[in-house]
């Protein structure tokens, strides 16, 4: 079974510190945790009575790992995925792109693409030919990246980083 402890360092190697790039649709972000996600967590780190950019600045690797587990890993029920590299690429996609990181893989698996991972989705993941499924996910993510840029050309500045990140998720039978 896959383990979040093996994925967290891979994700965090791609995530920098605090940024608030106006071209990044995620807004204020630290280690990949957006302000919108941190508001869901509901923790006012600086204790000033609100959850805002100042709180994002204070996030630690431990905070980011907690968010990864609760809001992304658990969303994919990745503890139930047999292959670590398949779990990794799936969870990283939902980390980067929200619901599309569930909906599009569900389409690839020909299961209900409702964005909710249940027993049918997990079973389909685990019975798929793991290497083939991993490649389908990779190709679908690449198409997704290209669609983002086609719809919003201002995002082309992020393309190579997104592709480098995607390419770092290699299939392994382990």
Mean of pLDDT over the chain: 95
CA atoms within 13 A on the CB side of 73: 20
The pLDDT of residue 23: 82
CATH class for domain 4-167? Answer: mainly alpha
pLDDT in tens, 82-105: 999 999 999 999 999 999 999 999
3-40 confidence digits (pLDDT tens): 999 999 999 999 988 989 888 888 889 999 999 999 99
- Are the C-beta atoms of residues 28 and 61 closer than 8 Å to each other? no
């Amino acid at each position: 079974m896959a383990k979040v402890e093996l994925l967290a360092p891979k994700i965090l190697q791609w995530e920098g510190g605090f940024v608030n790039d106006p071209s990044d649709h995620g807004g204020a972000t630290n280690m990949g945790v957006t302000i919108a996600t941190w508001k869901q967590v509901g923790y006012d780190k600086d204790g000033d009575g609100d959850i805002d950019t100042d709180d994002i600045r204070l996030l630690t690797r431990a905070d980011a790992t907690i968010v990864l587990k609760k809001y992304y890993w658990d969303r994919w029920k990745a503890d139930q995925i047999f292959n670590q590299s398949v779990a990794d690429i799936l969870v990283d996609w939902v980390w980067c792109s929200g619901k599309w990181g569930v909906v599009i893989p569900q389409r690839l698996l020909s299961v209900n693409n409702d964005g909710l991972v249940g027993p049918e989705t997990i079973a389909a993941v685990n019975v798929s030919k793991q290497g083939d499924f991993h490649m389908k996910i990779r190709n679908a993510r690449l198409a997704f990246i290209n669609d983002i840029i086609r719809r919003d050309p201002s995002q082309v500045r992020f393309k190579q980083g997104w592709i480098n990140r995607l390419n770092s998720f290699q299939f392994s039978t382990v």
